[in-house]
Structure 1
Amino acid sequence: MTTEPSTTRLNKRMADLGLCSRREADEWIARGWVKVNGQVAPMGLQVGPDARIEVDPKARGQQREQVTILLHKPVGYVSGQAEDGYEPAKVLVQPRSRWKGDLSPRRFAPSQLQSLVPAGRLDIDSTGLLVLTQDGRVARQLIAEDSTIEKEYLVRVAFGAVATDVQAAFPPAQLARLRHGLSLDGQPLKPARVDWQNPEQLRFVLNEGKKRQIRRMCEAVGLKVMGLKRVRIGRVTLGQLPLGQWRYLGPHERF
């Protein structure tokens, strides 16, 4: 008895191969830009693991026009849609707030704001590196459930009434729990790298991103977060990018 090879919906297969996002795949399929085994693919097609997928150069051209923007988000802006009277960080992406140190040759165009979405959250009361992208491949790389991209944060903390030289007052056993041993929402957290950057500030390196994760981790061990700043995502750092300003992800930069 032979077992039939399992099939996968074409848009998922294209996303898994890193060709595009599922949404982009659906758009390309609808435009007739995708062939499977030499035939123009219909919407909803199921494909086997050995299917030969070809993408029209027009799709590649469209993809090259998509932008990814790095923003130094200030406190008081939400990452995504406007809520409770707070503006989305995307409103800061305008010509006058582009960093003068941006080396990208790209020219800003209003069309770059269309379908520009945050690839990951940064809380309203947090600051630092926020990625906004039109490219579904970037979004998937950063926020897919199986993503292992590291994110690095500098976190200023207090321990009860202690706000200076917190390191001396904070029990080493609790620091060990921050590194591994905490659970959120009934699920154990992955191991994290947590070390003192200075007596009042911790450096966290995580490869997962639950909602308000660092604040909740700190709360679980008796720490209060006084300030939180994301300084790195994968290999891309905040660097000298000024608060409230943005730049394009360079053509040779990779997360």
Structure 2
Amino acid sequence: MSELGLCSRREADEWIAKGWVRVDGKVVSELGTKVYPSQKVTVERQAAAEQSKRVTILINKPMGYVSGQAEDGYKPAVTLIRPENRWSGDTSPEQFHPTQLKSLVPAGRLDIDSVGLLVLTQDGRIAKHLIGQDTEIDKEYLVRVQYTKPGKLPDADLKKLNHGLWMDGKPLLPAKVRWQNDDQLSFTLREGKKRQIRRMCEMVGLKVIGLKRVRIGRVKLGELPTGQWRYLNADERF
């Protein structure tokens, strides 16, 4: 069901338990049931109705907040999702309700000392779309840097940032890295290893002073103020 893009694995488990899934017209209630390529999987309308109620929230994460579970005394970004922090420029007709905080998980991480666009979603399809192994969604970051060696970063090292570096024993996918101004680079990546940009910079003698995510796919941070949030609109697509 997950591979067909119908839902996430967790949602599939819930739907099967509720009797909302059929294979060739017969209700399947046992998890892990084998389905052959020739068989047809369908879901009841209740499943689609429940899925349509699930929200996706965009937040401009400030420094000092973690993306997911609370750790080392730091608060998770989800604690910022309160009515008083909703951006006044949010055009979505969606009304806030505390039930929207249930099962709201980050679709991709931002380090505690990084800021910018963070996606929190109840929709497993969106989470898989953004962070699944085969994702084609790119992410753009503005990175303020300081060169730790004499002179300026050589062009050859800028080329290495674009393609040629290895991490954790594997070559990194090609990236788009270019200067925005004298001390700021734009990074566009299609993968997200832990602290990847900071580690890439270290490899060529750059120290990261500040890191901000400004875009995920076609969705931009835009004018969303730091510490505030808005709903993903129905007509927006990553």
Q: TM-score, normalised by structure 2?
A: 0.98
SS of alignment partner, residue 71 of structure 1: strand
Partner SS state of residue 195, structure 1: strand
Q: Say yes or no: does 1:199 pair with 2:182.
A: yes
In the alignment, the residues of structure 2 paired with residue 42 and residue 77 of structure 1 have an alpha-carbon distance, to the nearest angstrom, of: 40
Residue 96 of structure 1 is matched in structure 2 by 84
5+ residue gaps in structure 1? 1-13, 163-167
- Residue in 2 aligned with 1:253? 236
**How far is 1:222 from its partner?**
0.3
Alignment pair present for 1:85 and 2:73: yes
1:247 deviates by 0.2
Verify: 1:137 aligned to 2:141, yes or no.
no
Partner of 1:159: 147
Looking at structure 1, the residues matched to 222 and 5 of structure 2 have their Cα atoms a distance apart, in angstroms, of 28
* Cα separation, 2, equivalents of 1:150 and 1:45: 35
1:22-171 maps to which residues of 2 (within 5 A)?
A: 22-43=9-30, 44-160=32-148, 169-171=152-154
Give the Cα–Cα distance (whole angstroms) in 2 for the partners of residues 50 and 136 of structure 1.
25
CA deviation profile, 1:62-89 (whole Å, cap 9, x unmatched): 0011000000000000000001110000
Secondary structure of 1:139's match? helix
Q: 2:197 aligns with which of 211, 214, 218?
A: 214
RMSD: 1.0
1:242 aligns with 2:225: yes
Q: Deviations over 1:136-185 (max 9, x none)?
A: 000000111111210000000000177xxxxx711100000000010111
Aligned pairs, how many? 237
1:176-233 per-residue CA deviation (whole Å, 9 max, x = no partner) reads 0000010111111000000001111000000000000000000000000000000000
State the structure with more CA Rg: 1
Aligned mates of 1:200, 1:50 — CA distance in 2: 57
Deviation at 1:50, TM superposition (A): 2.1
Q: Over residues 3-45 of structure 1, what are the superposed CA-to-partner deviations in whole Å (9 max), with x where a residue is unaligned?
A: xxxxxxxxxxx11111100110110011000110010013221
- Secondary structure of the 2:51 match is helix
For residues 59-118 of structure 1, the C-alpha deviation after alignment (integer angstroms, 9 at most, x for no partner) is 111001100000000000000000111000000000000000000000000000000000
For 1:82 and 1:230, the matched residues in 2 are separated by 21
Provide runs of 4+ in structure 1 moved above 2 Å: none
Q: Distance in 2 between matches of 1:219 and 1:180?
A: 15
Q: Percent identity?
A: 65
**Amino acid of the structure 1 residue aligned with 2:2:** A
Q: Determine the C-alpha separation between the residues in 2 that align with 1:213 and 1:155.
A: 12
SS at match of 2:188: strand
The answer on whether the counterparts of 2:149 and 2:205 sit within 8 Å (CA) in structure 1 is: no
Residue number in structure 1 paired with 2:6:
19
Aligned-partner Cα distance in 2 for 1:42–1:233: 37
**Structure 2 CA distance for aligned equivalents of residues 196 and 224 of structure 1:** 15
One-letter code aligned to 1:49: P
Instruction: Pick one of 166, 174, 180 that aligns with 1:183.
Output: 166
Q: For 1:19, give the aligned amino acid.
A: L
Taking structure 1 as the reference length, the TM-score comes to: 0.91
* Aligned mates of 2:189, 2:235 — CA distance in 1: 24
